Structure 1
Amino acid sequence: MAQDSTADGPDRKWGADILYIWTVEGWLPLAIVLDLLSRRVVGWATSDRLKRDLVAEALRRALVARNPASGLVRHSDRGSQYCSVNYQALLRKRGILISMSGRGNC
C-alpha cells in the first residue's frame, strides 16, 4: 500500500522520527516532529541516551508551538518509543490520530 505524505493544510499531518547526530562526545539522539505540508521541524528534543521520554518531549514541544486541532494525523515507524503506552496516551488525549508504518517498512 502506498503511503500518502501530502497534507492539505498546516498541522494536519505530522511525521516523527529519531535521528542520530555525531558529536565529539559520541552519538546524540534527536527526536523530531515534522509538519508534512511545510516540511519544517515543529518540535524536537535531544537526550544523552535513547529513551521513551525523548519522543514525548519532542511531541509536547510541537503541541505547545503549534496547538493543532483535534484530528491531526501523526505518522512514525513502529519503534518502541512510539508504541509506548505513555506516548500513545498523550496522542489520544490530544485527539491525534495514530499512523504507523507496516511491519518491516520503516
Structure 2
Amino acid sequence: MTENFETMPEEKLICRAQSQDHAAIDALMRRYKGIVRKRARSLFMIGGDQDDLMQEGMIGLFKAIQDYDSSKEAVFSTFAELCISRQLYSAVKSSNRKKN
C-alpha cells in the first residue's frame, strides 16, 4: 500500500520528515520549491548563478523541516520562508565578502 504524499496534511508530512522519512522530505521539497524559486530570483550572487541560489534556498528549506517545532504555534510555511530567506541572504553576503 503506497501513501499519497501529495495530498497528505502538512503537519503529518513534517512529522514523518523529521523522523527521516525520505519520501516525506521529498514531498515537502516539491511543495515549497516554487517559494524557493521565487525568493532566489530576486537575488544576485557574485560568482554564482541562479542554480546556486536555488540550491542554497533548498538547504534553507531542509533546515526548516528539521528545526520546525509545532509547539511554538508558528505556521510551517512562515517558518520555512524565513529559513529560506536567511539561507539565501547568508549565501549572498558570503559571496560578496569573497569578492572584496
Fold similarity call, TM over 0.5: no
More helix by share: 2
Whose radius of gyration is greater, 1 or 2?
2
TM-score by length of 2: 0.25
- TM, length-normalised to structure 1: 0.24
Comparing both structures, which one devotes a greater share of its residues to strand?
1
Larger RCO: Structure 1 or Structure 2 (Cα < 8 Å, ≥ 6 residues apart)?
2
